[in-house]
Amino acid sequence: MAKKKYDAPEVTTLPEGSQLPPLATAADLPNGTAPSNGESKSPIQAKPMIYLQNGEVQYQFTRFAMPKRAGKQPEGEFQVLIDGVEHPAWTTASRGWAADDATIEYIWLNLGDAAGYITLDYGVKAADYANAEFTRGEGKANRDNPVRVPKDAEKEANRKALAAATLAAKKPAEAAPEQQ
């Protein structure tokens, strides 16, 4: 007998004559104002940009889901100090798709309120940052991440073209102006 992949949620209906609870009103919202489009949703707050500073160098922290390795190795590959607190760190690299002389390594961190990575410079080994000390700051880092250099420029151009086509296909078609 085959295993069920998941249990479907039980569908319930409201008893006849009952109603759903009312939607939130302006008074229920944190800032006490109603959204301009008439919907009763809370405003979405953008998360501030984060950078990690090591010495004089600031590394932009990119929010992203942690790699699978982090769940399998919760103690990390090495530790780093961020504002005096030890954090486990994991590494990945661009070796699979980057030019041999342009390999980039990444240090992955879970900061509690944000998970993601910092991008190192070409040829810099992430392992060199074992026990490194960082300070956390908000805003844009004073250093730009290195530009991606692919092994095969033609494959990279094709990848970008396919990504652009996929994105264009997902956008809703703009309504044509009405002709009179």
Q: Which residues contact 125 (CB under 8 A, 6 or more apart)?
A: 105
Residue 149 lies in a domain: no
Q: 131 lies in a domain?
A: yes
Taking the model in full, what pTM does it have? 0.64
Would you give the DSSP letter of residue 150? B
Q: What is the mean pLDDT of the chain?
A: 79
Tokens of 50: 């984060």
112: left (phi over 0), alpha (psi -120 to 50) or beta: left
Q: Which residue in 91, 115, 114 sits closest to 104, CA to CA?
A: 91
Task: Assign 136 a pLDDT band (cuts: 50, 70, 90).
Answer: very high
Q: What is the tens place of the pLDDT at every residue in 146-163?
A: 887 878 888 888 888 999
Number of structural domains found in the chain: 1
Q: Is 77 a domain residue?
A: yes
What residue numbers bound the domain in which 117 lies?
50-138
Averaged pLDDT, 173-179: 49
Is the pLDDT at 56 greater than 60? The verdict is yes
In a domain, residue 114? The reply is yes
